[in-house]
Amino acid sequence: MSTLSLIQRVVAIAAVTGLLVGFSLSTAWAQDSNELSVRPTSGDTAAARDAINVRRHATPPRTSPTSAPASRPAELLSAGSTANVGTAASAASPSSQAFVRYPADVVYQGGAVVESAESHAVYLLPNGHCPISECWGNPEGFLRDLTASEFVHVLDQYAGLTANNRYTVGRRARVSYAPPAVPLTDNDVIAFVHSVASVTGETGYGHIYHVFLPPGQDECFDSTFTVCYSPDNLNTFAFCAYHGSADFTDIGHVLYSVEPFQDVFGCSDPPGTPNGQLVDSTNDTLSHEFFETVSDPDGTGWWNSTPSVTGLEGEEIGDECVFITLPAFGDPSVFRIDDKTYAVQLEYSNSKHGCANTP
């Protein structure tokens, strides 16, 4: 679709539905054609409510091994999903890292993988305000480094391709919203995704929408508010992030990840990482969800299907390489990704039978 025809479509939609706020040809497009400014409408909410085949796979908090109950994977398993959520947070301890860094090979389940895709950052701005650098760091810069690096080629064995530049970074969206009195739900998130994807027309396995939540914004799987990102309420605090997919009746299949604010107890990397806790915690989790979206977008791709007493069954390639250091910090590896040093976790490689940062 040409830039002109896309602008005409956006203007038409805005005129009819009021979808876009703060949008003008002299600012949003004339200054930066890579950026959209959007706000969901009741139509997006209805589309999210009617979505089918909604799949979710979550990353548990990085709490101490004894604080992650054995029942947690069942609580995190989304309705309709074919794969369990990983339990890496309960499977690792500082004294056992030499063992768990070589967990077990994942198995192809026969479904889709992402051979190539553009990643799109979707930033939720409470009442229109949350500077990207202050709230999240530079997620898009990290993704550009990641997708140009040797690290991303760990995915070659799962995607079945080896070419460079298969994964890129596309346009971003800023979404102004009024924070509700209760946590957001996954339905709210996919309404945000629908509002962006319906304007761009960029859907299917070739696009991944990463939705970044601002500091202080809790989010739950559904309106029971029992399985949540809620570092302020440990009784419901069940995940740090997740990736998912959904089928909309109008725009089709969409891949997305939910990236809550990571510089909090149970989700953050430890102090002293190369880029600071805010940046490296954000990027560490984003990397995890990106790799798992590519290798297992719908819960039918690559995951561990071998029953074991170590709790590895159902884990994806990111889950198997999450390690913790007490108290409740992630334990990332520090290495160069393209031309910059980051602190992020490794990813599981069947070819190396262990966690790796090279193919």
More confident: 95 or 165: 165
> What is the total residue count of the chain?
359
Q: Is 162:216 a contact under the CB 8 Å cutoff? A: no
Q: What is the mean pLDDT of the chain?
A: 84
Tokens of 49: 């409510």
Do residues 192 and 124 touch, judged by C-beta distance below 8 A? yes
Q: What is residue 32's predicted lDDT score, i.e. its pLDDT?
A: 55
Is residue 103 predicted with pLDDT exceeding 60? yes
Bigger pLDDT: 159 vs 103:
159
Is residue 89 scored above 50 in pLDDT? no
Residue 92 amino acid letter:
A
Is the pLDDT score of 69 beyond 60?
A: no
**What is the four-CA torsion angle of 290, 292, 295, 296, rounded to 10 degrees?**
-120
For the stretch 247-302, pLDDT in tens is 999 999 999 999 999 999 999 999 999 999 999 999 999 999 999 999 999 999 99
Q: What is the spatial distance between Cα 293 and Cα 139, in angstroms, rounded to a whole number?
A: 16
- Whether 23 shows a pLDDT value over 80: the answer reads no
**Minimum mean pLDDT among 64-73, 192-201, 342-351: which range?**
64-73
pTM (whole model) above 0.75: yes
For position 309, what pLDDT does the model report?
A: 61
Higher pLDDT, 345 or 4: 345
Q: Is the pLDDT of residue 2 over 50?
A: no
The pLDDT of residue 77 is 30
The confidence score (pLDDT) of residue 101 equals 66
Q: Tell me, what's the pLDDT at 102?
A: 76
**Residue 33 has what pLDDT?**
72
Q: Which helix (H) or strand (E) holds 241?
A: strand 241-248
Helices (H), the chain: 3-17, 42-50, 72-76, 88-91, 97-100, 132-135, 139-147, 156-159, 186-200, 277-295
**269 alpha carbon, distance to own chain's centre:** 17
User: In this predicted model, what pLDDT tens digit does every residue of 112-151 receive, in sequence order?
Assistant: 999 999 999 999 999 999 999 999 999 999 999 999 999 9
pLDDT band at residue 324 under the 50/70/90 scheme: confident
Q: Residue 180: is it exposed, middle or buried by C-beta count within 10 angstroms (0-12/13-18/19+)? A: exposed
Cβ distance 171 to 3 under 8 Å? no
Q: What is the model's pLDDT at position 49?
A: 97
Q: At what angle do helices 277-295 and 139-147 cross, to 10 degrees?
A: 50
pLDDT at 187 over 70: yes
**Residue 40: what are its φ and ψ, rounded to 5°?**
-65, 150
The percentage of the chain sitting over the pLDDT mark of 90, rounded to a whole number, equals: 74
Give the least confident one: 6-10, 81-85, 168-172, 240-244. 81-85
- Binned at pLDDT 50, 70 and 90, residue 311 comes out as confident
* Kind and range of the H or E run holding 38: strand 35-38
Q: What is the mean pLDDT of residues 9-13?
A: 34
Residue 62 banded pLDDT, cuts 50, 70, 90: confident
